[in-house]
Amino acid sequence: MIVESQLDVSNAVRRDQVPAGDYYMEIVKKGQTVRILDLEGNQAADTLFYNANDPAERYSAIDTIREQGNVYLSSGTKILSDQSNVMLEIVADTCGRHDTLGGACATESNTVRYAIEKKCMHACRDSWLLAVAENEQYGMSKRDITHNINFFMNVPITTEGGLTFEDGISAPGKYVELKAAMDVIVLISNCPQLNNPCNAYNPTPVEVIVWDE
C-alpha cells in the first residue's frame, strides 16, 4: 500500500549514498526511522536485519510472512525476528511491494542460472561477506548470512505458485521507510546483478537516510 512519509530530509541525522555493488552496515537505534531511497529506479536493495545487542537474533521471512498473511512486504508490515519479536515496521512506502522470497544473488547461483563464466561476477552474497569481515565489532561471520528482503525487487507469484523475476515496479525517487522497534544492525547489499531484470540490467546507487524519530 502506498503511504508517503511526513519526514523532512533536512532533519535527517545521517545520509549515506551506497553505490551499486557496495554495502551499508550501520546500527539504527530503537525509535529511529531509516529510509532506503531508490535514486534512479529499478534497483534492488538486498537487506538483512539483526538485533544489534545479540546478532544471533535476526530477520525471519517465515515469521514475517506467516504473521501478516501475505508474501509481499509493504507499509504496515512488521519485520519479525526468528524469535518472533518486532524488529522494525514499514511506516512509509511509495513503491508498494517488496520481495522476501527471491533470495540474494551469489556467484554460485549466477553460474547455475546464467553461465559458467558468470562465476567471477560481483554478487550480493560477496558484499555481505565483505561487510561482516570489515566490521569485526559486530562479531559476525559467514554463518550469520541468512535469507533476506529484496527492497524494490519485483518477484510476483504466478497463479500456479511459481516465482518469476520481473522488471521492477520501482522508479526514480521511490522509497521505503522503516521505524526501528529495537536497536538493529542494517546490512544492505546494493545489488550489482547484471543478468536479470531486478536492476533493469543497470545497477544504480541507493541512499540510506536516518531520522531520530
Sign of torsion, CA 131 124 77 206? positive
- Cβ closest to Zn ion, residue 104 vs residue 140: 104
To the nearest 5 percent, what fractions of the chain are helix, strand and coil? 20, 30, 50
For the sheet with 184-190, list strands across it.
23-28, 184-190, 45-51, 149-151
In degrees and rounded to multiples of 5, residue 87 shows phi and psi of: -95, -45
Under rule CB under 5 A, residue 191 binds Zn ion: yes
Among 20, 92, 95, 124, binds Zn ion (CB under 5 A): 124
Q: Is 28 a binder of Zn ion (CB under 5 A)?
A: no
Choose one: 53-61, 69-77, 121-129, 131-139; the region binding Zn ion (CB under 5 A).
Answer: 121-129
State in angstroms the smallest separation of the CB of 48 from Zn ion. 12
Q: How many CB atoms lie within 10 A of CB 194?
A: 16
43: closest CA among 142, 188, 211?
188
**Per-residue contact flags (x/-) with Zn ion for residues 65 to 104, judged by CB under 5 A:** ----------------------------------------
Q: Which of 45, 52, 80, 105 binds Zn ion (CB under 5 A)?
A: 105
Determine if 190 is a binding residue for Zn ion (CB under 5 A): no
Nearest distance, CB of residue 151 and Zn ion, angstroms:
12
Closer Cβ to Zn ion, 7 or 106, answer by number: 106
Total residues binding Zn ion (CB under 5 A): 4
Q: How far apart are CA 181 and CA 146, in angstroms?
A: 21
Residues binding Zn ion (CB under 5 A): 105, 124, 191, 193
